[in-house]
A and B are shown apart, each in its own frame.
Chain A
């Protein structure tokens, strides 16, 4: 998909700081990290949201295995981390290409989530304003 930023990153057309990739997923640092460790794990296939994963599809399990590997590589697997998927607008999803966040490195997990929601709301208002102008 030409207009999807994550598809473009996967195709190498947009730069990103990759930490892992295989035949199913690409993982890279979030462009706007909300904590010292903030990685996005993105399937190569363009599935818009978690709701669009077909029954029996194994992508989420694979994303989970990759998350654990990344957490180990970054030295946070034992200390702790969060793995989350935002689904649709009210869930804080901004880019509509399925992705999981792996976040660690501070005590602000809740703060990050709040921040993400704040940004999502702000973004939506900006988009509305821009369209109205």
Chain B
């Protein structure tokens, strides 16, 4: 992933070359605050590998499970797992995708009720 990772803002964040407020990471994904959060909780979960869109996930790839597991952890961490949250993938232009590095929005409309 030569050219893609040099140009792609999410690749750069995953590599630590661009700043982001990271809330979770493991060997396959990185999760960080959306730079322009639209909701009280608005986290992006991205795979470290550069996959352009949801359509480009290969059939044997388990990245979506990994993202789902990360989403569970992030929601727990943000205090919204039980109250509720959404996990959203925008796919291609008509689906609202702006950055062509696979990512999911994890957001909650209500501010988390922290103990």
Chain A residues engaging chain B, CB cutoff 8 angstroms:
50-51, 53, 55-61, 63-65, 67-68, 71, 76-93, 104, 109, 113, 117
Contact = CB atoms under 8 A, between A and B. Distances in A.
Interface stretch (B4-12, B17-25, B29-37, B88-96): B88-96
Q: On chain B, which size bracket covers the interface?
A: 35 or more
A84 B88 contact: yes
B81 interface: yes
B15 interface: no
A58 B65 contact: yes
A71 B95 CA distance: 11
Contacts, number: 116
A80 B54 contact: no
B85 A83 contact: no
10 contacts: A50-B68, A50-B71, A61-B57, A61-B64, A68-B54, A82-B90, A91-B80, A93-B84, A104-B94, A113-B88
Interface string B32-60: 00000000000000000000001101010
B95 to A, nearest CB: 3
B84 A71 contact: no
